[in-house]
Structure 1
Amino acid sequence: MATARGKSAGAKRTAKIPQLDWAEARPAPVVLISGPEGFIADRASQAIRDALRTAHADLEVHDVDAAAYTAGELFTIASPSLFAEPRLIRVDAVERCSDAFLEDAKRYVAAPAEDTTLVLRHASGQRGKALLDLVRGGAGSGVEIPCAEVKKDQDRLAFAQAEFRRLGAQASPGALRMLVAAYSGGIGELAGACAQLVSDAGPRISEEQVTRATEGRVETNGFKVADAATAGRAADALVLLRQALSTGTDPIPLLAAVNMKVRAMARVYGAGGANGALAKELGMAPWQVERAQREVRGWREEDLARTIDLAAETEWRLKGGSRDPEYALEKYLLVVASRGRRR
């Protein structure tokens, strides 16, 4: 999974406890959910709660805000009750914790309460690092679930693919690509789109179904433009671009769609070997390798390098470096369509 690859270097250096993918989340005396991806962190926390409730119908759940914590609160919640019900204590905002929480939590993880699961949510930053180091060093016999931000194209594709698999469905490669392009914001929105598609269209998702479901979303048009440009159809690319711009489409996601394909071509350029092995080496899906290899045919290395440089320049122009960003994007499209041989 994408998130498993996104574990921070600092966590890997210091951790002596199991590092779990969010899909493997399970209860433990102490569970550290670290990283900025809030949607995945919420999924992991929910999975832990569901597992505990399945095992213990009488589970007590307590939510604590570490930023507003007062001294002794953690020990009061964790102290045994008359009927000794199991407890889940979920602590949010550890990265903004009070001094009182930091001191109490360090004491608690040294000797966790029986039949209690403490979930610590730490999004980012140095605040609370001493506590994190204790947990990662083995105090509390805990586990860590790193939740790195899912923002790379390949990671978002992998996330969407995993969502469909979790829902008992399968999407074609083209449908996946279109869906990820259409929902380029938070992955919570992308997950919701996957669920809605399966509900509406069933377990087999095609490009046509994604087109209907995402009609009117800006980024989907971007891949139509990109497909025409990388196929060498300059006139079609310009027509599609002008149609998209005339309906209010922002140039930035259009450029992002083209750049995604140009980057893929650059990665496979000159690479040899079977598609499966190459895909594994490059961190791409086999169909992505095959398509990029097909699209990069006829390109020269120096032209591809120049096009990548122009991509960065075009992005700068679209973000305020030019009074006519649309012209800059048209110029870039013509370069891509001519395989980098015209500027």
Structure 2
Amino acid sequence: MPPAPRRAASRSAIPQVSWRAPQPAPIVLVSGPEEVCAERAIGGIRDYLRAEDPSLEVSDLRADDYAVGELLALTSPSLFGEPRLVRVAGVEKCTDAFLAEALAYLEHPQDGATVVLRHTGASVRGKKLLDAIRAGTGDGIEIACAAIKRDADRFDFAAGEFRAAQRRIAPAALRALVSAFADDVTELAAACQQLISDVSGDIGEDIVQRYYGGRVETTAFAVADTAIAGRYGDALIALRHALASGADPVPMVAAIAMKLRSMARVAGNREPAKQLAARLGMKDWQVDRARRDLTGWNEASLSTAIQAAARADAEVKGASRDPVFAVERLVTVIATRAPYGA
């Protein structure tokens, strides 16, 4: 049996269900921009219904290219009474006809039908429909698929992949894997599933290196790690490999700045890692890593590096005509721990 859904905050009167444990309802709103989570949720609902009745009829329609009467036709009982699953995409771009018929459908959902509405949140189009669902019209649930942007979010996502599969992965291996796919959650999910499928037993860092070592070596985090460690030559080589592989200077500077901010947050603090992590909203391993990264740094050099990162961030986002030079200058400041040209 799936875990009992929890009630949402005051903005919604319907149960909020995790995308990792989806379950059907007459109306299922799958909201939010993270497509990999939405795909898992919708696929999970299909599998749940099909396990209950293999004769499940699955239909797809687009809310932004909608023919009048489609929703009612697809949800109406068939001759033999098979259960129906209707997956509706593009609700954030829905036509007026779909909006009107969907609102009417909420008042009288069809027995034996599950309607899944996918709204990415890319626009406010369809807000009236979302508000009605969240108010409880139509006996619905919501599966929120929030964007996975922060490093900590990606780490939690990947850890959840292995936990859901009841597989163990070493913390260092998990960090290496997340670093290798820091710019693409879909690829990170695929990499996790490949390791789960291909590797028997526990997954160590050597396995991640064997599968994805080339990618690990050219990520933004690898560039940041070598620069922060003071390995100037290695940092420039890693940077050039990353750029040659198509890495974007913007997320590269963001990764470097994130690590510098973590260092600044823990600098000079002697609290136990677990307590400090809880207070700062970080993971234990992030505190430990930031403390290791601080070796050889002082207040002045860290301040210089943070200022250089702020400058580079502005330059790669349009303040400079040469974003590659901006990243190279930042790496130089960090690796040498001195102002550029000093």
1:54 to partner: Cα distance: 0.9
The partner residue of 1:274 within 272, 275, 278 is: 272
The partner residue of 1:212 within 210, 213, 218 is: 210
Structure 2 CA distance for partners of 1:145 and 1:171, relative to 1, 3 Å: same
1:63-93 Cα shifts (integer Å, max 9, x gaps): 1211122222222222223322221111111
The residue aligned with 2:5 is: none
The residue aligned with 2:294 is: 296
AA at the equivalent of 2:305:
T
1:115-147 Cα shifts (integer Å, max 9, x gaps): 221111111211110010000011112111111
1:148 to partner: Cα distance: 1.6
1:296 to partner: Cα distance: 2.7
1:308-343 Cα shifts (integer Å, max 9, x gaps): 23112123434565566555434423432455x544
The residue aligned with 1:58 is: 55
Question: Relative contact order, CA 8 A, sep 6+: which one is greater?
Answer: 1
The residue aligned with 2:109 is: 112
1:299 to partner: Cα distance: 4.4
The CA distance in 1 between the partners of 2:119 and 2:324, in whole Å, is: 42
The CA distance in 2 between the partners of 1:324 and 1:102, in whole Å, is: 47
Secondary structure in 2 aligned to 1:67? coil
Give the superposed CA RMSD: 2.8
AA at the equivalent of 2:275:
A
1:276-299 Cα shifts (integer Å, max 9, x gaps): 233234333211111112323564
1:218 to partner: Cα distance: 7.0
The residue aligned with 1:177 is: 175
Unaligned 5+ runs, structure 1: 1-10
The residue aligned with 1:332 is: 330
Q: Does 1:121 align with 2:152?
A: no
The CA distance in 1 between the partners of 2:218 and 2:170, in whole Å, is: 16
Q: How many residues align?
A: 331
The CA distance in 2 between the partners of 1:246 and 1:100, in whole Å, is: 47
The residue aligned with 1:5 is: none
AA at the equivalent of 1:94:
V
The CA distance in 2 between the partners of 1:106 and 1:246, in whole Å, is: 49
The partner residue of 1:168 within 144, 166, 169 is: 166
Q: Kindly indicate which of the two structures has a greater share of residues assigned to helix.
A: 1
The CA distance in 2 between the partners of 1:246 and 1:332, in whole Å, is: 14
The residue aligned with 1:4 is: none
Identity across the alignment (%): 48
Secondary structure in 1 aligned to 2:327? helix
Q: How does the TM-score come out when normalised to structure 2?
A: 0.85
1:168-216 Cα shifts (integer Å, max 9, x gaps): 3232222222222222343221111112223333342222222222243
Q: Does 1:76 align with 2:56?
A: no
Secondary structure in 1 aligned to 2:43? helix
Structure 2 CA distance for partners of 1:267 and 1:238, relative to 1, 3 Å: same
Q: How does the TM-score come out when normalised to structure 1?
A: 0.85
AA at the equivalent of 2:173:
A
The residue aligned with 1:90 is: 87
1:229 to partner: Cα distance: 2.6
Q: Is the 8 A contact 1:167 1:195 kept in 2?
A: no
Structure 2 CA distance for partners of 1:209 and 1:257, relative to 1, 3 Å: farther
Q: Is the 8 A contact 1:74 1:104 kept in 2?
A: yes
Structure 2 CA distance for partners of 1:209 and 1:254, relative to 1, 3 Å: farther
Q: Is the 8 A contact 1:218 1:250 kept in 2?
A: no
The CA distance in 2 between the partners of 1:120 and 1:250, in whole Å, is: 35
The CA distance in 2 between the partners of 1:111 and 1:323, in whole Å, is: 58
Structure 2 CA distance for partners of 1:126 and 1:198, relative to 1, 3 Å: same
Q: Which is further off, 315-324 or 85-94?
A: 315-324
The residue aligned with 1:43 is: 40
The residue aligned with 1:287 is: 285
The CA distance in 2 between the partners of 1:13 and 1:338, in whole Å, is: 52
Q: Which is further off, 145-154 or 129-138?
A: 145-154
The CA distance in 2 between the partners of 1:228 and 1:103, in whole Å, is: 57
Q: Does 1:264 align with 2:262?
A: yes
Q: Is the 8 A contact 2:232 2:336 kept in 1?
A: yes
Q: Is the 8 A contact 2:99 2:129 kept in 1?
A: yes
Secondary structure in 2 aligned to 1:335? helix
Secondary structure in 2 aligned to 1:273? coil
The CA distance in 2 between the partners of 1:334 and 1:100, in whole Å, is: 58
Q: Is the 8 A contact 2:18 2:144 kept in 1?
A: yes
The CA distance in 2 between the partners of 1:151 and 1:228, in whole Å, is: 23
Q: Is the 8 A contact 2:168 2:202 kept in 1?
A: yes
Structure 2 CA distance for partners of 1:108 and 1:270, relative to 1, 3 Å: farther
Unaligned 5+ runs, structure 2: 1-7
Q: Which is further off, 308-317 or 51-60?
A: 308-317
The CA distance in 2 between the partners of 1:162 and 1:84, in whole Å, is: 38
AA at the equivalent of 1:78:
T
The CA distance in 1 between the partners of 2:243 and 2:65, in whole Å, is: 50
The CA distance in 2 between the partners of 1:144 and 1:131, in whole Å, is: 13
Q: Does 1:18 align with 2:8?
A: no
The residue aligned with 2:29 is: 32
Q: Is the 8 A contact 1:178 1:220 kept in 2?
A: no
AA at the equivalent of 1:180:
V
